[in-house]
Amino acid sequence: GDSVTQMEGPVTLSEEAFLTINCTYTATGYPSLFWYVQYPGEGLQLLLKATKADDKGSNKGFEATYRKETTSFHLEKGSVQVSDSAVYFCALIRQGGSEKLVFGKGTKLTVNP
C-alpha cells in the first residue's frame, strides 16, 4: 500500500541554521505530495504542496521539490527561526485513487535561540 517515510526526530537546531527533513514515499501512480505543520496544541496546517514531478512547493521560506526518480519530497529552509519549532508531517494523496491522505510519522523540530 501507499506509505510515507520521514527521518526520525527529534531535530534540534540553533536559530538561523539550515534545515532538511527527509521524506520518501511509496505509492502507485503519481501522488500529490504535501508537508503539514503542527504547532503545540493545534491541528495540522498545510505548509506546502506539489502535484507533479519536478514541481517545487514553497511557503514561509520552506521549500520541497517533488523528485520522482528518487521518490522523495525533502523539506528545506535556509534559516530557521524559533517560531518554526513544531512537528512536520510529510503526506501524500494518490491521484485517481481514494484521495486519502497518507501521513508519515512526523518529525519534531526544536529551534533554540
Partner 1 sequence: DARVTQTPRHKVTEMGQEVTMRCQPILGHNTVFWYRQTMMQGLELLAYFRNRAPLDDSGMPKDRFSAEMPDATLATLKIQPSEPRDSAVYFCASGLEGARGNYGYTFGSGTRLTVV
Q: Which residues bind partner 1 (CB under 8 A)?
A: 32, 34, 36, 42-46, 49, 51, 89, 93, 95-96, 98-106
CB 76 within 8 A of CB 7: no
CB 96 within 8 A of CB 30: no
* Least distance in angstroms from the C-beta of 51 to partner 1: 6
Closer Cβ to partner 1, 33 or 80, answer by number: 33
Q: Which residues make Cβ contacts (< 8 Å) with residue 72, sequence separation at least 6?
A: 22, 23, 24, 25
Closer Cβ to partner 1, 16 or 105, answer by number: 105
